[in-house]
Structure 1
Amino acid sequence: MATIYDVARRAEVSPATVSRVANGHANVDPALAERVRDAMRELAYRPNAVARNLRRSRTTLWAVIISDISNPFYTSLVRGVEDGAQRSGYSVVLCNTDEDPAKEGQYVDAALAEQMAGVIISPAGKAQHVNRLADARVPVVVIDRQQGGAHVDTVLVDNEQGAYLATTHLIESGYRRIACVTGPAGVFTATRRLRGYRRALEEHGRPCEEELVRHGDFREEGGYRAMAALLGLRLRPDALFATNNLMTVGAVECLVDSRIPVPDEMGVVGFDDLPWAHLVRPSLTTVAQPTYELGREAAALLTQRIAEPERPPMTLTLETKLQIRDSSLRPRP
């Protein structure tokens, strides 16, 4: 069985450098770190996890706590986290809260009890669980949803600007009564996307009619129910901006069941791209988020936080991109 000294000789570095790479320290020259990892792979070297954890008082595991594992948005995001964790010598444990703050609390309890090396969390509730981690000096990064009252590293996308672009596009395509199906009231992403929708209407001299705004649950059933309620209005909308991918699917399903053609009678723009969005007919216009990059940046921030626990918290905001397809292009007379 290979030892740390065998790896050091193969990589032509000191045993101390091998130890720093094996323990995930960020203060190693990237070229040296890659040489050490190559030597580890060639020699099939496995660090003594028990001894290492006793020295560090923590495991080499990260908890990744997300709100809905069935949402394709999180698939790419978690892949970005996992790739970043592997490069830094960590493994990932995936936890799903189902948007339930109580379930989130149970996973935070587990992360504390198991002495996780760090936590990346997309919060389902208020800041109390994130603050519990921070107060216990567990390195933590919040992803996707900003937490008021929690002073921790955060990675977001520009939700408001993405919603503004989506709504502006529908206005410029000739739609007049544009509805919005957003998420639960008080959830950061739902609030910001609703704000971008309203800003676009105001800047284009359009009234923001409250009857055209519906709050869903970020799931297909919620999108279906919200679309059905909008279709029941005396003056129904002629376009829809849905603020996440699953609610977009539910809303389109309702339109199909109601025999309302898209985009002739109803323009549709969703938030979050879908792998098959360009394959359906009509193809679906979406606000694409850099989901893999979100996860990768969160992993990089967590690695830095582990190496520099006293560093001031920082927030990264990534840009979205409007992918214009057929579902929002109204046929001209």
Structure 2
Amino acid sequence: MATIYDVARRAKVSASTVSRVLNGKQSVDATLAERVREAARDLDYRPNALARSLRRSQTHLWAVLVSDINNPFFTALVRGVEDVAQRSRYSVVLCNSDENPDKEASYIAAILAEQIAGVIISPTNRSGHLRQLLDADVPIVAIDRKARGARVDTVTVDNTEAAELATNHLLSEGFIRIACITGPRDISTAEERLEGYRQALRAAGREYDPRLVRYADFREQGGYTAMAELLDHTPRPDAVFATNNLLTVGALECMVDRGVRVPDDVGVFGFDDVPSATLIRPPLSTITQPTYDIGRTAAELLLRRIADPSRPPTLSVLPTHLHVRASSLKRPRGTESQR
């Protein structure tokens, strides 16, 4: 028996396009829609009307599509989603895009084919993927990052303000050459945190030096490589602000390998709490996001979207907290850093 994926291959379109055409959506080009219908006829594709009806009316599955399942940031966040979902008799399916737009597209095609009741997503930079969900009337809430080119409910934090506060702290401690390791250029969180860093420098009358900025993926190796490049720069920085937890860990690993003392040689401030941040020596200064509350708020917004699909999109901005610890405290000359 032919499947929706067989039809998609025959018509040379995505499974989500097949789903929209066969469900009567008007958002598909007429020529393309006819090609899909012709492929379905050729393959004698017959969707199970009863099963499809049951999925539409009784589906109790949410998909949570995160950008990196290895990032501890998402652990408490997903727990917040699940707690709200369980109370409302929904189950949660966890998907990992791995920062890969093609992988994200594959999951979205499956979400459309299975008539998932709602989606909570940390999107990549491809707004077209979210547009497919919107065209199919799938309720969506974006988390952590703002969705480009799509007006959807969003839960985030004030990344710019938080980054500005962290950089201000480093400036107030007397650090002079403060570097910033940020994420990919096309990710909203990376851009906003870099802007907060810039704003703090401007407010302090410091010149922004692009040579002290490194762009990397939001992973440990990216932080390690970026820190190595900064340490090889002359003169090298005396402090670094890393814009997520894995970047911070990677930067610290590099400094350990290079014999760089924190904070005597280089002060460190991270974004997102790192597991065991207080056990690292010296303890790590971080900006903490309310990860559980981000997930909980996103789930509550999804419930509201399911109940009222026509309401205007909501932007929820949750507070962050600055945790100043020894890694960012400039020591008087002659003192020893903790080991």
Could you tell me the TM-score, scaled by structure 1's length? Answer: 0.83
Aligned-partner Cα distance in 2 for 1:63–1:55: 14
Aligned-partner Cα distance in 2 for 1:285–1:68: 23
Aligned-partner Cα distance in 2 for 1:233–1:184: 21
Partner of 1:112: 112
One-letter amino acid of the counterpart of residue 154, structure 1: T
Q: What aligned pairs does 1:1-333 form with structure 2 within 5 A after superposition?
A: 54=54, 56-57=56-57, 59-333=59-333
Q: Are the aligned partners of 1:53 and 1:60 in contact in 2 as well (CA < 8 Å)?
A: no
One-letter amino acid of the counterpart of residue 199, structure 1: Q
The 3 A distance-change label for structure 1 pair 51 and 98 is closer
Aligned-partner Cα distance in 1 for 2:203–2:66: 35
Count of residues in Structure 1 that have an aligned counterpart in Structure 2: 284
Q: Are the aligned partners of 2:125 and 2:148 in contact in 1 as well (CA < 8 Å)?
A: no
One-letter amino acid of the counterpart of residue 260, structure 1: V
Aligned-partner Cα distance in 1 for 2:53–2:256: 55
One-letter amino acid of the counterpart of residue 292, structure 1: Y
Deviations 1:132-153 (A, max 9, x none): 1111001110111001320111
Q: Are the aligned partners of 2:141 and 2:154 in contact in 1 as well (CA < 8 Å)?
A: yes
Aligned-partner Cα distance in 1 for 2:300–2:196: 29
1:203 CA drift (Å): 0.2
The 3 A distance-change label for structure 1 pair 72 and 325 is same
Secondary structure in 2 matching 1:80: helix
Q: Are the aligned partners of 1:220 and 1:248 in contact in 2 as well (CA < 8 Å)?
A: yes
Q: Are the aligned partners of 2:285 and 2:328 in contact in 1 as well (CA < 8 Å)?
A: yes
One-letter amino acid of the counterpart of residue 132, structure 1: Q
One-letter amino acid of the counterpart of residue 134, structure 1: L
Aligned-partner Cα distance in 2 for 1:55–1:197: 47
Deviations 1:244-291 (A, max 9, x none): 000100100111111110001100000001231011110000010001
Aligned-partner Cα distance in 2 for 1:149–1:258: 43
Over the residues paired in the alignment, what is the CA RMSD in angstroms?
Answer: 1.4
One-letter amino acid of the counterpart of residue 278, structure 1: T
The 3 A distance-change label for structure 1 pair 129 and 51 is closer
Percentage of matched positions with identical amino acids: 60
The structure 1 segments of at least 4 consecutive aligned residues displaced by more than 2 Å after TM superposition are 50-53, 55-58
Aligned-partner Cα distance in 2 for 1:239–1:301: 39
1:312 CA drift (Å): 1.1
Q: Are the aligned partners of 1:60 and 1:90 in contact in 2 as well (CA < 8 Å)?
A: yes
Aligned-partner Cα distance in 1 for 2:53–2:80: 25
One-letter amino acid of the counterpart of residue 225, structure 1: T
Deviations 1:38-62 (A, max 9, x none): xxxxxxxxxxxx9997284351000
Could you tell me the TM-score, scaled by structure 2's length? Answer: 0.82
Aligned-partner Cα distance in 1 for 2:298–2:323: 25
Aligned-partner Cα distance in 2 for 1:211–1:302: 42
One-letter amino acid of the counterpart of residue 205, structure 1: G
Secondary structure in 2 matching 1:206: coil
Aligned-partner Cα distance in 2 for 1:120–1:147: 12
Aligned-partner Cα distance in 2 for 1:291–1:277: 16
Secondary structure in 1 matching 2:199: helix
Secondary structure in 2 matching 1:148: coil
